[in-house]
Chains A and B, each alone.
Chain A
Amino acid sequence: MIWVGWRQQRTETLIAAALLAALAAVLVPTGLTIASAFHDGRLAACIGHTEEGAGACGAAVQAFGARFANLSALLAWATVVPGIVGILLAAPFVLQLEQRTHRLDWTQSITRDRWIAGKLGLAIVTALAAALVFTLMITWWRAPFVRLQGRMGNSIYDSEGTVVAGYALFALGLALAVGAVWRRAVPALMVAFAGYFAARLFVDTWLRQRLVSPLTATFSAKGRGPDLSRAWVLSEHPVDRHGHAIEFIGCPRDAGACRVNGTTDYVQAIYHPASHFWPLQLVETGLFAGAALALIAFAAWWTHGHA
């Protein structure tokens, strides 16, 4: 069954590999340039001194960031790759249901259970391998930036750690589930991609910050607050001495007129510190992978019952 499963998803696996190879073709040369720029600029010495006013370091870090800003922004789009790979790897299964060739396989000597387990197992393993390769490449590429800025930024966070595996599995599971019921590959995979995109958008913009309780710090605007340079800051707003938000509603245009006795001397920040990286990653990965397993189990069960 392993050979059969591999042969039936060979084309899609090769396309996924080509996709990753194309990404590598961009990442490897640019990554080397970035690494040498980081080294030549002696930026390692600046880690921890990136805040404004740190003199030569501030300028060097800024120049480094500016030089690779476009590339960095471009690479933020790489976050769609795990989804595409997941959907792609669901294609052979759905295509086979569409062309009804699963019935040919089922009327050989193999049981349905073994066939389904073999096909889906192979797709899962391939998706995980692709996610691993993707994560390693991006993590290596981004390492200099991460050393300077941390990895809590949205476009960095979602291609590091374990979440990529969750995304790839979720895309795979969603495409399998929709495809198992619909049995028309092209529309099913398109709908699955739209669903995947919507789920990612929902998690990115709303859910993720709520997965782990953020920290709240109130501190004097004049003094030094907590180091937020590597944190994911959800909000930062002026408060009064007791931590109540200051209402600007009804104030004249220059808000200064509202200031009463220096009450805005305090600032409240709600944020995820860098130490929340792994708790957030693991919870988010668990959510996506759990949903993925439920979807894959559904696809297996439905396929089993519908020859």
Chain B
Amino acid sequence: MSAALQLEGLGKRYGTTWALRDCSLEIPEGTVTALVGPNGAGKTTLLEMVVGLSRPSAGRLYALGLSPDRDARELVPRVGFVAQEHPLHRGFTIAEMLRLGRELNPRWDDALARARIERLGLALGRRVGKLSGGQQAQVALTLALAKRPELLLLDEPVASLDPLARREFLTTLMEAVSDGGLTVVLSSHIVADLERVCDHLVILSQSRTQLAGPIDDLVAAHRLLTGPRSDPATVARVHQVIRESHTERQTTLLVRANGHVYDACWEIHPVDLEEIVLAYLGYAPAGPLREAVAG
């Protein structure tokens, strides 16, 4: 599988602050990747660099094998981008938004765009500014999809939507993905919906990549260990301890297991994606985050 997105030591600095630092990862073609991290982790910065709205301060970046900086003319027509808060021209009607798409994109698929708008039950003559947040998000997604991109980037597409609109949006996205030929990178700080849509996960935290890989593998590789209160040092020798928490009697460890966990002192549980994500968001590479739970 070749990489739709390839980052090597990518960094972006604003003044003296690094918004993203030393980020290396590969996103295979045809995958749907969730880019997860707290606000300010550099998700938006990363996506903007891919689509050429922002320039890397360090490292290298290839999207579809092209550099957004040098090959913008070739790359941008093949990348769809839905920005955070999906800004649209508020004074335009939906029909005019589609016309804009047609005028500015040589590969524009007008039939697809119209069919999508029709399926959403939106009249073409309605003003974009008068649509609900969910409908605006759908129009923005339609605009990005009708461009017929090979790589689709969505920056916090559902953050501002209510649960129903969120589900409808993700359903539309999944349908588009099932049509094939599309790699999707989707940033979010809401984990709940991602498992349904995404097959790959990248966790960005403190401006760095903390974890990246296929979701199934990641879930399979992590374990929750509970046992009598003890020092996790023996476990840490073999496995990577992501989070440890202690009560008076009990110690709970979330580990990235290096093979099987044989230690009989520990009860071993599977963990779900959300728990893994939450653990990594607090994880600093220097060592596990210590959570002392009183009582």
Residues of A within 8 A of B (CB): 1, 3-4, 7-8, 11, 99-101, 103-111, 307
- Would you call A1 and B53 a contact (CB within 8 A)? no
Report yes or no: A4 in contact with B48, Cβ–Cβ below 8 A.
no
Complex: A1 Cα to B92 Cα, angstroms = 15
Q: Is the CB of B101 within 8 A of A307?
A: no
Add 16 more A-B contacts to A104-B88, A108-B104 (CB < 8 A). Answer: A1-B103, A3-B103, A7-B100, A99-B87, A99-B90, A100-B83, A101-B88, A104-B87, A105-B104, A107-B51, A107-B53, A107-B83, A108-B147, A109-B107, A111-B72, A307-B54
Is residue B73 contacting chain A, with contact meaning CB distance below 8 A?
yes
Of B54, B88, B105, the contact of A108 (CB 8 Å cutoff): B105
In the complex, the answer to whether B87 meets A7 with C-beta atoms within 8 Å is no
Closest chain A CB from B5 CB (angstroms): 16
CA distance A11 to B89 in the complex (A): 13
Kindly report which residue of chain A lies nearest to residue B81, judged by CB atoms: A107
The answer, among B53, B72, B77, B101, for a CB contact under 8 Å with A103, is B53
**B101 contacts across to A, CB distance below 8 A:** 108
Interface residue B99 (Cβ < 8 Å from any Cβ of A) = yes
Q: In the complex, what residues of A have CB within 8 A of residue B99's CB?
A: 3, 7
Q: Which residues in B have their C-beta under 8 angstroms from that of A107?
A: 51-53, 76, 79-81, 83
**Chain B 43-93 interface residues, beta-carbon cutoff 8 Å to A:** 48, 51-54, 72-73, 76-77, 79-81, 83, 87-92
A1 to B91: give the CA distance in the assembly, Å. Answer: 17
CA distance A106 to B79 in the complex (A): 11
CA distance A11 to B103 in the complex (A): 20
A104-B83 contact, Cβ under 8 Å, with A1-B104, A109-B107: yes
Enumerate 19 A-B pairs (CB-CB under 8 Å) in ascending A order.
A3-B99, A4-B100, A7-B92, A7-B99, A99-B87, A100-B83, A103-B87, A104-B89, A104-B143, A107-B76, A107-B79, A107-B80, A107-B81, A109-B104, A109-B107, A109-B147, A110-B104, A111-B73, A307-B53
List the B side residues contacting A111 at CB < 8 Å. Answer: 72-73, 76
Q: How far is the CA of A105 from the CA of B100 in the complex (A)?
A: 9
Q: Is there a chain A Cβ closer than 8 Å to B96's Cβ?
A: yes
* Any A CB within 8 A of the CB of B106: yes
- Residue numbers in A under 8 Å from B48 (CB-CB): 307
Q: How far is the CB of B109 from chain A (nearest CB, A)?
A: 13
In the bound complex, residues from chain A placing their C-beta under 8 Å from that of B87 are 99-101, 103-104
A307, B14: Cα distance in complex, Å? 14
Expressed in whole angstroms, the Cα–Cα distance for A99 and B89 within the complex equals 9
Considering only CB atoms, which chain A residue lies closest to B144 in the complex? Answer: A107
In this complex, the member of A101, A108, A110 whose beta carbon has the largest number of chain B beta carbons within 10 angstroms is A108
Q: How far is the CA of A106 from the CA of B105 in the complex (A)?
A: 11
- The residues of A that contact B107 with a CB separation of less than 8 Å are 109
Chain A residues closer than 8 Å to B92, beta-carbon distance: 7
Residues in B with CB closer than 8 Å to A1 are 103-104
When distances are taken between beta carbons in the complex, the residues of chain A under 8 Å from B104 are 1, 4, 105, 108-110
Closest B residue to A96 by CB, please name it: B89
Cα distance, A110 to B99, chains bound together (Å): 14
Chain B: minimal CB distance from A13 (Å): 13
A-contacting residues, B90-129, CB 8 Å: 90-92, 96, 99-101, 103-107
Residues of B within 8 A of A106 (CB): 52-53
How far is it, in angstroms, between the C-alpha of A136 and the C-alpha of B90 when the chains are bound?
36
CA distance A100 to B53 in the complex (A): 12
Q: CB-nearest residue of chain A relative to B83?
A: A103
**Min C-beta distance of B54 to chain A, whole Å:** 6
Tell me the complex Cα distance, A30–B54, Å: 56
User: Complex formed: what's the CA distance from A104 to B84 in Å?
Assistant: 11
Residues of B within 8 A of A103 (CB): 53, 83, 87
Contacts A3-B99, A4-B100, A104-B83 given; indicate if A109 touches B88 (C-beta within 8 A).
no
